Amino acid sequence: MSDLLDKIQRDLNSSRAEFDAARQSETRPRITKHGTILIGKDGVRIRDFSTDRPGDSDEWREVIVDWGLSQLRNARGLLTEPHEGLRRYTEAIRTSVRNENWFAALYLALTMPDICGALENPSSKIRNRYESWFKKYLGGLYPPDLFSASDCYYLRCSALHQGFPTHRKAQAKRFAFLAPVPNISMHCCFSKPEEGKFVLLLQVDIFCTDIVRGVERWLDDVVGQEEILKQISGMLTFMDGRSPMDLT
């Protein structure tokens, strides 16, 4: 859809340029009846429009093409993804799950509450925004007496910075991640020894997918917040070294 809209906008821009030379007066025609702008292989065709100055063919066509461009810009806001930068991250998690690259899936998933929290509340403390995001978008899936927002933050700290599945402040003695087994689900359950803390069992594909879905719900919530979307558009990505690179 994005490619199609880009092509339509290029065609309309091309038609718009053809009429620029015809502008000789600051008083422009006004559209009195809206019709249809057709984009085809043979160019742009305008049908069923009327203006208050139909005799000025170049100028009224220019006004109509300007109107078409404004409609296209509005359509892009509805039909395209303004947060494509973050979709690359969630798609990377999904791809890693499909490929059973569990370390890549888990480690990137654990960063998503960090990233979303920082985009939405950049001035908040890291732990506060991480836990707040978890409570809102994942809290309903995980009983807090087994795996709370604080536990997820502790897991994030120990796993990302040290590579360990334990944290001295967590409720669980250890977080044990399980690879999926066909027709069996073992997620968010525990094994408790006779003494001491329990071991929390988390199925890695389910856990990562839950976080991805949380990110998608968060994106729906911030879709109208221009400052957040602007920050998302500038997120880290990878350039194609085979193509001309824009380093501005």
- Cβ atoms of residues 143 and 188 within 8 Å: yes
- Extents of the domains making up the chain: 2-79, 84-233
- Cβ atoms of residues 190 and 203 within 8 Å: no
Whether residue 59 has pLDDT greater than 80: no
CA distance 111 to 186: 23
- The DSSP 8-state label assigned to residue 38 in this structure reads E
Whether residue 26 has pLDDT greater than 60: no
Residues 6+ apart with CB under 8 A from 169: 150, 154
pTM listed for this prediction: 0.66
Higher pLDDT residue, 109 or 185? 109
pLDDT per residue as tens digits for the range 68-103? 766 665 554 444 455 678 889 999 999 999 999 999
